[in-house]
Each structure stands twice: as C-alpha cells, then as structure tokens.
Chain A
C-alpha cells in the first residue's frame, strides 16, 4: 500500500541470545533513558510499560534437561508495510525510510490503539494512567530523574521504543558542529545496547557493510521474530540453539530446519 523508499541509512539491532543473560539491564536502562513511567503494581504485565521487554522461554523438557532463555524485545521497527504505521488514522506514527526508525508522535496520538491491535510483537504501550505527576503511589521525588531529552507522555497516548532517536539527533548535531557529515558507528547506540553487560546487543546501520550489524545478520545463527509474516523487522537475533530459534516463529510440521553444527 505505502511506497517503500530506499533510504540512505537503515538502523537495526542484533541481539545475541547466546550471550544474553536475561538480567534485565536493557529494560531498566531503556526506562531510565526514556522517562518511562513506573507504577506501584508493575506485575500487571498487560498494562505496564516496557519499551524493551524480556520474554522468558523454556525448552519444555523435564528436569534435569530444562533450559530457559530470553527474548529481549524492543520495537522491531518493521521495514515492510510497517503494521502499526499503515493503520494509524492520525499519522501519529511514521517510518522514516531515511533511517528506518518508526517514530511515535505523542502529541498527535489520539489513543485509538489500532496500532496496538496491528502489532503482533506487543511492542506498543498505551498510557492507561497519568505516568508522572498524578501517578499513584505519589512518586514523590522520582520525577527529578526525568530527562529533558524525551518528552514525558500524557495519559491516553501510545508509546514505544524509538531506537533512542534523540541519541541519533544529538550525535548528528555533534557531528555537524564538528564539520562532519557522517556519524561514526559508535556515536549512535541506543541505551539498551550501551548498558548490556554481556555486549549481547549490537546496533548500527544495516545499509553500511562495514557496520558490525551488517556482518552479524549474515551469520547462519541469525533470525528474526515472526519473519514469515513479512514485516521485515530490523531487529535480528542470534542463537546457536535450535529450540530457541524455533520459538521465534510458527512452523508447520517439518518446516523448521534444525541448526546444525556447520551453521553455527
């Protein structure tokens, strides 16, 4: 439906699940970077806001062959026919084909939540409550940690991971001030990738063959979430475990190809 343009940059992320420890630092760093609200009952997972969210999976085998693993799930920034972008009636979410980043304009969002229905990754979050200020329990003092770089959302609007778009902006201004046209690979990294203590998250320009992400996605270990739906997510995962890879998509019997030793 919408014209897909070929842009200059295409930012993407690669998450190595062999390295990921499931510690949750990415979630905390993201929330802290992006002024995500926090409520007294964050166990209400249907309503809590986690731009980056950990999904715990198990191989389902009985003790002592049980294994757990994690899918850290930011917004996939789907590149093809971005499901949420195409349905938003008020153009409050858009994909910038020059960066590949799917943005959300909080002040334009009318809160119809059609985008949430469209997203199979549950990457979109509605503000069911006033996040700060009127929040209960009165988060006295916590608002002092709010960053001026990301606007605080009002209730009634949808929010989601922006690949820390403000960091791209400041990297660009810095480069511009220094008379450079291009930013370096390490100058623009989202908060989750930066904080990850096992360096499981790599970020960069998928259009740039020199960037690490472009090399990593060629790995036979690489795959994406629900790849078969054709949303073309720009978040890739790496895993050498078959059962983990199999969890990433739906397969009819005999469709799934086991990861072989040669592949890893």
Chain B
C-alpha cells in the first residue's frame, strides 16, 4: 500500500507540470469552446420538447353540429374538430333549447367518448367472475348468434316471458321503441323502464287532466315560479334551457319580473339563489302545497272561472255509483289550515300564508315538480297537489303556465307480428305487477321486479337485456337490483361503457356513444313546445361498436319467426325515417332557428307555425343537417276540449282513482284494496291529493335521523359516466380522496360529537355506508344529505370506489298508487367509524 501510494505521487510529481497544463488548459479550452454552451442550450431545448409530452396534431378546424343526449335535456352542441378529430364541445346558438350555453356534463362529453379505460373495444364475453371486469373479445357474429340462440331457445320452451329488458333510453325515442317492440315481438310482457320524474308527472297529469303529453312548462313567460325541490339551476328539465331562463330572469336587477321560490329542506344552489327559500321537513311538501291551496281558497285568490267551469271535484261530487264525496275545497279547508300545515312541515304559519298570497296574486304563477334534476320519480299525490295549485290559478294551458299538449306527431310503425309463442307469452302476467289492478297507472315497476326475483328460490328471469341504463347503480334499497342481477342466469349489456351493470353481464353488445351515432331526442324534458332532434355522428365509431337499433334489428332477424317479421327495416335509420314522416304529415314546424327571435318570446301569441320546408325529402334533409324540428306555437285556453278525464274537466278529485279502487275492492273489500295500493288515508281524501306519511316507518328511537339524497349538476348520477374534468368542479368537502361527504347541520353534528371531516357510518335497515362529515348550516337539523353519483364499483380510477352510493341505504318502500320507490325519507342512524 505504502509503496503504491508513493509511486502514485511520484508519478504526479514527475509529470506535474504537464498535468497542470493539461488540467488548466483543458478547463480553459472547454470553457471557451462552444461545447458547454451548446450542451446547456440543447438540454434546455430538450426540456421544452420532452418526447412524452404530447404535441396534438394540428389540422383544418371545423365544427360539427349535433345534440347532446347525456341527459334528457337535449341541448344543441357543436363539436370543434381538427381534421376528423373532435377536440371540444360547445353550445349551439342556432338551437332553441340552449342558446349558446351548456352544462358541465355536456362540456365534458369528449372524455366519455375518448376514455379507453371505460369503453368496450367491441363485443365481448365474460370470462372472469361477475363484476371482475374480465372479458374476452368475440366477433359480432358469434355474439349475436349466441344471444339469438338463447332467446330462440327460451321461446321454444314457451318461456319468452323470462326475457326481460331494462331500458334507460328516454321514453318515446326510436331506440326505446325498438327495445319495447323487440320484447313484445319475442313475446315478453316484461319491459322495464328506469323511473324518472316524468313518469310520475305523466301519471299525475293523466289523473288530473287526462293528458298523456310530456311535462311542459312555459317557464320563460311565467311571473312566479314555485319550485317544489326542482334543481332549477342544478340540472332540472333541460339544463341548457332552464339555466338560460335563469339568466334572463336576472338580467335586469332593477326590473325583476319573476319571483322564484324554492321549497327544499337544504340550502341548495337553487334555494340560495332563489328570491325565497322555504324549507319544510322532507316528505311534507304535499302538505305545504295543500296548505297554500287552503289559503288561496280561503282568501278567494283562485281563478273562479276555471274552477267553476272546468274543474271536477273541487266542490263536493257524486261518483258513478251515486255516492256523495267531499270535494277538494272542503277537504283542504278542513285539513290544511296554515296552523296544521305548520305542524306537519315545521314552517311558520305566517310564511305559508304570505307564500300563498304571493302565489295567488301573481298573474302567471306556476308550481313545478320533480326533485333535483328530475332523474328520479316523485310521489304521485304530491305531483297531483302541485298540479292542483296550478289549476287553482287556472294556469293550465296558459302562457307562462303548464302546457298540455298532444304527444309529438311521429308516425307509428305497423303493429308487430305476434306469432303464437309471442301471443302466449304476452298473456302472462308482468313480473313487476305494473299495469295491474294494484298499480293501474304505472307502466313498469323495476323495484317490484327485483323483489320478484329475490323472493323466489329460482329467478323467474332467465335473460336480462340492459339498454342505456345502469340499474345496478341507480336503484335504491341497498342495491336490491344488483343482488337480483346476481341471480339472473344470463345478462346482456348493450352499453358502450364498462358501467356497474355491464360488469355483471355475460355478454356485451356495445352501442356507439352519443357522439358516434344518429339517434333522436323526443321533446326535451319540460320544454313548452314540441321539439324533435337528431344527433349526427361527429366522428366515425372509435371502436368495434354497433348502434343498438341496428343490433336489435339484426337480432330479431336471427331469432326468426314473429320477431323477424316485426322488424322489416334493414337498419335503424330506416325505422327512424319512417317515424319522422308523421312530423311532415302533421303540417307546420321549423327546422332552423334564429337566435335573435327566441322561440319562447313569441310563444304566448303564436298560434301556428308555417313549415320552412317544401317536401318530406326537403324536411328530412334539413332535419338531418340541422338536427332539428320544432313547433314553437300552441293552442292556448280551450279548456272545454283539452281535458280528457272521464269528467272532461280538470279533476281535483280523480274519478280514475275512484274507478280503479272500485274495481280492485270489488274483488276483495275496500280496506284491502287501499292497502294493496299503498294508500294510508281513508274516506274521500283518497281521491284527492292529500298528505300522508311515508311508506316506511322505522321507529324513530332506533333511527333518529332522516337521510335525503340530492343530485348535483356537476356529477352524473344516472347512466352516463362522469367525465374526469367534472371532478375538478367538486369541492373537497364533497369528495376528498375516496370519501364522499354527508351534509349535516352543525347543531345535529354536535349532538353526536362530530367535527368537520370525521368519518362516520350511516346505517338504515337496508345497509350501511361510510362517509365523512361536512358541517353545513344550510342542512336542515336532523336531516342528512347525501349526493347521488358517487360510489361506482365500475369504470376507471377517475370514478371507481370514489365515495358512497346513497342508494345502498335508501329504504324506498312504495309510493301510494304508483308503487314507485320513495327516495326522500329514509330513516337512518349514525355510527362512529
């Protein structure tokens, strides 16, 4: 060691001079050479062009017009493209529903189109256990053959009714009708829809007005808006339209023409931004509506002409069997004095009186129903009570009021060719008991279907077809439908997305997304005039997907027999075009829109609309390019002819309920009939809107709190996946990492010793979820508010396992008469985590 080291230093010493020269010279030389400077510069340039930072391809910019179908609002959107690549979604200004603006979900739509992680690349077959998300690719041919074989087999066994379809497409759309038709043609009566506020509304309207048209309000021309929990600025109706109206209402603070009152137990955005916020106890809204009616009647603020000339059951009435019944007026005056209503709702009597007077003294007051976004059904009696308020003011079929209209004049297809198997199948009773004497006015009851599946040892359903719906996620009662799905032998998903329900499917026949296909929008939710729109693909399909309509037509042909004969079209577009002919034949209607003359503006005075096309071909061409047909005029008044109730008038007391009850009780006795229909009231109240306590009544001692779910405009809570960009808009007291929050009044929280951010369990008889506490003064004491849309078991890291799904604990029970789930009043308790 010693030697070596010495040698080293000697060597240095020997070459010392040279070494220093080399060192110094080298350093100076390198420094003055361009090398280090060039390298420094190059490295900086490299950081500006890192190869892993994408450089988006540039191209020719263009816009493609279409319509958004992520919700039933149907806003016009234009998609900005470079060459053929969509890069942004914006609102259309040449479309009457939403002049320019859109909602956050619509703005984030491209992330639904483009996200590889949540889309099926093509038809697939399950290989892993259910829910594992393990699938293998198969060809369209194989997939369709496999399904057709199964369906044909069931038909051969005489069990076509074991085929069930769940359809989330908006009612009346061509795809929805094709699903319905397919089921009928194979011979199954079990067509199920996901219930929405529109279902309750059309039922309530059917009972009060006899009208089967869609939900329609002339909001822009109203001067007093009484919203029973509608999230007017939180996605209710057609968000683009209602938010635009909101802007119009507030455009001149000096001359506000509209007063907005929000009825809701939570300081939602709508409640806060409204002129007045009324917070009754959850589930007592009906009592409030009737309390208002009481004051309006008592003080004579109602429309005498309408009530005397065009109403039935306002005063005491006589039924077909000759019995005398108390009328709406007497019952309301007897039972819903402000003091009584104050006791039920927790409001001050003076507030009820002043609100009733404000409503009663307005020129065009309109009371609205459908909680939150309106994606969930409501309670039938409540909707009827609200419609009665509108009727008291005679604001039915009036400018600025409720619009009663015929359904949009689309052609109907020829009847299906039911073969003998189908005929026999269709005669079998529905599994969900809808449309029976027990639930005479309800089209389908998916909550009853899951009960039917779960209560039997063997699932009566063999094959479940799911279209544009996510029932494993969106239905209440602790995921009862998900549990039911686990017992169904064979599930087919037609979803383009790896949603919670698709992950449980055995076969995937993926649809295009809304930006890749043509489909129709039939009367956007709540719009005052008929509007029919077509989407136009803004890009060719990105994956090996097929239009559900085409898939169904092919499938029907493969099944053969009646189904094949019932689907004479070669593709979806043919079937669509056949329906559109009706629009042309109805005469009138526009296919273009001029922003400077908003459709709502002339609506009160316009009586007809000349068509802006010459022939069907011309109209079809214009419809396909602009995506739009609408008829912005209405035949107002005509109270003599508009009501199609048995009495021919607006029915404050429903003779249809009376008839139904008579028929049912004729088989048993009245008490049993009432119980079957879920009505707790007795006597004449049964026929008129009345308040009764919710269907589920756990002891308050065990479950001292009430849980109310609510919806957010910036969080998808239905079938559509939530675009990741929307996560940016959620506050961190709504979602923090993987925890969602319950809104709770600080006063209530302190009773449990809870602080902001604490983790708790909320438990109902249906289940238990874990959430964090968000102290919110705007939450009614004693009530827990949970947002809907969290807690997916599917999709990718942007959504999976983020937050808790309130549906896991909603204890819905059944709404009287309609049988639909009741979402708004689950009794719960808090457990500390």
Q: Using a CB–CB distance below 8 Å, which chain A residues touch chain B?
A: 16, 18-19, 21-25, 27-29, 31-33, 35-36, 38, 40-45, 48-50, 54, 56, 58, 60-64, 66-70, 107, 130-134, 137-148, 151-154, 156, 191, 194-200, 221, 240, 264
Contact = CB atoms under 8 A, between A and B. Distances in A.
B780 A42 contact: no
B727 interface: yes
Contact of A147 (B87, B106, B113): B87
Nearest to A29: B107
A246 to B, nearest CB: 16
B246 A198 contact: yes
Contacts of B239: 23, 197
Contact of A63 (B58, B714, B735, B778): B778
A194 B100 contact: yes
A19 B250 contact: yes
A63 B726 contact: no
A108 to B, nearest CB: 9
Contacts of B638: none
Contact of A42 (B240, B277, B713, B727): B727
Nearest to B83: A148
Residue of A31, A66, A137 ringed by the most chain B CB atoms within 10 A: A66
A41 B737 contact: yes
Contacts of A191: 88, 90
A134 B114 CA distance: 17
Interface of B: 47-48, 50, 52-59, 80, 82, 85-91, 98, 100-104, 106-108, 110-111, 113-117, 119, 233-235, 239-240, 243-244, 246-247, 250-251, 253-254, 267, 269-270, 272-273, 277, 279, 713-714, 723-732, 735-737, 745, 747, 776-781, 796-798
Contacts of A144: 85, 114
A22 B111 CA distance: 21
A64 B235 CA distance: 23
A25 B50 CA distance: 32
A141 B199 CA distance: 37
Nearest to A17: B273
A166 B152 CA distance: 59
A28 B88 CA distance: 10
Given A141-B116, A198-B243, A25 B53 contact: no
A145 B244 contact: no
B93 to A, nearest CB: 10
Contacts of A141: 114-117, 119
A125 to B, nearest CB: 11
B254 to A, nearest CB: 7
Interface of chain A, main secondary structure: loop
Nearest to B249: A19
A142 B725 CA distance: 11
B732 A143 contact: no
A207 B405 CA distance: 50
A130 B52 CA distance: 9
B111 A145 contact: yes
Given A23-B233, A43-B737, A145-B111, A137 B90 contact: no
Contact of A199 (B101, B116, B728, B778): B101
B527 to A, nearest CB: 15
B253 A21 contact: no
Contacts of B98: 197
B59 A148 contact: yes
A200 B101 CA distance: 10
B244 A198 contact: yes
B54 A146 contact: yes
A147 to B, nearest CB: 5
Given A24-B713, A29-B90, A68-B267, A42 B724 contact: yes
A195 B777 contact: no
Contacts of A24: 104, 713-714, 726, 728-729
A147 B253 contact: no
B58 A154 contact: no
A19 B269 contact: no
27 contacts: A19-B246, A21-B233, A21-B246, A23-B234, A24-B714, A24-B728, A25-B102, A29-B90, A29-B102, A38-B111, A43-B736, A45-B732, A58-B776, A63-B279, A63-B777, A64-B267, A69-B273, A133-B54, A137-B798, A142-B111, A152-B53, A153-B53, A195-B90, A197-B243, A197-B244, A198-B244, A198-B250
